[in-house]
Structure 1
């Protein structure tokens, strides 16, 4: 291109810079009055003209240099920012395209006005200036659209992720509701079954007493045993409801394991002797005071011990309290009872589940209570068992329990 053409382009660029504010206002008037750009009515003057100065300047630089390639990086950055903001401001893609097309029209009219006022600005110069302006505005439009579409896709991905998480949570809640319903049906069936047995045996006892006065003591004994069984059933249900409904902050206190051990041994001695079982106790002499919830620890131990006694007809019951590595201590209860078969080991800690083919009274909540309390006390619960060979339950507790809802000391 000739020097005159270069000078003409430089003059055009300078004239456009001088008219920048007037041209911007002209463009904004067109945008505000265009029905195809509906969202422009919701923008302030500053919001509408946010990235226009940067784009305007890049066009002037391209007109001066006759080279768009060197300015592509700067043009793309401004265009992407423009597209991003327009998307956040609620623009549709067609509104974004229309707005930039109006900007193109304003620039092309300004080039035509400049060419008409400057005879030295040749027809070729004008065509070249129009071509360069078209190229830059097209590039800006494409980059803005890509950014707006990218923003839209990111938002769609975000909403899709939220929807998937919500759907997953809904599925979990539906499963929880289904499980709760099934649990309630289980307890209904279990209690109804035990009540029916209670009434049948109690009715038999009454008939026996009325028909044969000589067997009245036998009938009363039968009735009393049945009443005791029903009391055990009710006690287990009440105890489990208290465990599940306890949402208070866990109280932690220091207590002596030796005293707890002696108390547990005394509590179980009569029950084991009544069944002809041997009660064996082992206490680690290195253990002293621990910090936990004494009442809940005792509840765990008594549930394990009563369960062991209930399912053991001969042999012994072992209660062991020992220290383990890592500032922890272990409660172990072992028995020589019926044991738990492999098929039943995965479900014995669930609500209202017991080992198969047993007629021992109870709601099947003892181990469920142990599981819930062990979790609250941050105990690691494990067990080993085999059908006909007894069971070993062990729970490892921290020496010092820190309640989750309490703040750590400073």
Structure 2
């Protein structure tokens, strides 16, 4: 087919394709020499050219078909890629607009050059070519800008999310620091209070021995009791400090619950009976092996049993282990002690909470230790209590803990 049978705009498109390399280099030269485009100086030839050759080829398709929709999808794809890359390269929106305007000017200049050597390419053809080029470049510019704005918004959203998370973490840390400070102050107040009481009673015992030698035995008994109470206080403080400070991975082992149950019964029976109480035990024979941390489970049970014995004057302490559904087992410790009033149920697991009407030794950390250990062992705590009638604690543990 001769040139005379080729539509004028299609012939012009073929000319642009044949000059693609020269036109691209001409455009890049204009970009490099533009004083307003500072970011382009840092780019290599390939980085600057980017998708412009592809876009130029797609504009040629528009001219051939005299329809922007014919290559619209391809132009939109490459324009988006161009905008995203320019965003990553640090371009501002005004710089992106400027370089694409230089691209339009370069194509407009190509129209003038082509018409000067092609008399058959009339003014009407020039206007049509300019119309499609302007329409296509405007579409490229708008699409690229939208992509830049979209990338910027995503980045802002990311930064906003990071700031919100950082602010949330900071708030939590501030709250934890505040709670830690209050906890430490509570420790100080509690220890100072108990130490003062200990020293007062100990001083009274010494005065009793000096003023009434015949009552030395009574004074020594008083001093020994107070020393034992202080040992209980210190032991609880040390145990709680160890529990809170243990950040090592949970060590899991396979063991039989029956062995743990028998060990607990033997270790607690004498102390419970020494108070004139009975220890009732019940073990579900359906329970076999578990995978957990044996020492921490023992620590939970001992704290519950010790706490029950502290607050029970008459009656019994009951220890049971039973199998429950969903591959779990339950530890149950009940007593016939003083019980917990309705107004006190919210604070039973808090640090340094003790029955205010009873002279009970210790720092009031037993149930706080139980709560922290159950968090580590994935235990679910439930308790029921009636003031003056006793308390029941039930903790449901998984048969098999999963390691980290």
**TM band (smaller chain):** over 0.9
Distance 1:126 1:328 in 2: 83
- The 1:137–1:380 alpha-carbon spacing in structure 2 relative to 1, beyond 3 Å, is same
- Distance (whole Å) between structure 1 residues aligned to residue 252 and residue 141 of structure 2: 66
Counterpart residue number, 1:307: 307
- CA distance in structure 1 between the partners assigned to 2:8 and 2:123 by the alignment: 11
Partner of 1:92: 92
Per-residue deviation at 1:66?
A: 2.4
- Aligned partners of 1:312 and 1:295: how far apart in 2? 26
SS in 2 for 1:282: strand
User: Could you tell me how far apart the structure 2 residues matched to 1:326 and 1:123 are?
Assistant: 85
Distance, in Å, in 2 between the alignment partners of 1:249 and 1:84 is 44
> Cα–Cα, structure 1 residues 5 and 106, in superposed 2: closer, same or farther, change >3 Å?
farther
Give the match for residue 32 of structure 1. Answer: 32
Question: Does the alignment pair 1:75 with 2:75?
Answer: yes
Of residues 39-48 and 245-254 in structure 1, the stretch that sits farther from structure 2 once superposed is 245-254
Would you say 1:197 and 2:164 are equivalent positions? no
Aligned pair 1:123/2:123, yes or no? yes
Would you say how many aligned residue pairs link Structure 1 and Structure 2? Answer: 402
Tell me if the contact between 1:334 and 1:390 (Cα under 8 Å) persists in the aligned partners.
yes
Match of 1:63? 63
Q: 1:273 to 1:151 in 2, by over 3 A?
A: same
Worse-superposed segment, 294-303 or 219-228: 294-303
> Equivalent residue of 1:126, what SS?
helix
Q: Counterpart in 2 of 1:166?
A: 166
Q: Matches of residues 183-262 of structure 1 in structure 2 within 5 Å? A: 183-262=183-262
1:381 equivalent in alignment to 2:378? no
State the match for 2:281 in structure 1. 281
1:289-331 CA-to-partner distances (Å, cap 9, x unmatched) read 5444333222222111110010111221111122333443322
Tell me the TM-score normalized by structure 1: 0.91
User: How much does 1:256 deviate?
Assistant: 4.2
TM-score by length of 2: 0.93
Q: Distance in 2 between matches of 1:50 and 1:203?
A: 90
Contact 1:76 / 1:143 at 8 angstroms: preserved in 2? yes
Matched, 1:177 2:177: yes
Q: Is the CA contact (8 Å cut-off) linking 2:61 and 2:70 kept in structure 1? A: no
Which consecutive residues of structure 2, in runs of 5 or more, have no partner in the other structure? none
**What residue in structure 1 maps to residue 267 of structure 2?**
267
Verify the 8 A CA contact 2:339 2:390 in the aligned structure 1.
Answer: yes
- 2:340 aligns with 340
Report the Cα distance in structure 2 between the residues aligned to 1:147 and 1:161, rounded to whole angstroms: 21
3-state secondary structure, aligned to 1:346: helix
Q: Is the 8 A contact 2:279 2:316 kept in 1?
A: yes
Note the C-alpha offset of 1:250: 3.5
Per-residue displacement from partner, 1:171-222 (whole Å, max 9, x unpaired)?
1111111111111111111111111111111112222222222222222111
The equivalent residue for 1:408 is: none
Aligned counterparts of 1:248 and 1:7: Cα–Cα separation in 2: 80
| Greater mean deviation of Cα atoms: 263-272 or 11-20 | 263-272
User: Within 1, Cα distance between the matches of 2:213 and 2:61?
Assistant: 119
Query: SS at the partner of 1:353?
Result: coil
Rounded to whole Å, the distance in 2 between the matches of 1:257 and 1:131 is 86
**Counterpart residue number, 1:145:** 145
1:118 shift after superposition: 1.4
| CA–CA distance in structure 2, aligned partners of residues 137 and 307 of structure 1 | 81
Cα distance, 1:187–1:134 mapped onto 2, change above 3 Å:
same
Question: 1:47 maps to what in 2?
Answer: 47
Q: Any unmatched runs of 5+ in structure 1?
A: 406-410
Return closer, same or farther for 1:242/1:190 CA change in 2, 3 Å cut-off.
same
Query: 1:229: Cα distance to partner?
Result: 0.5
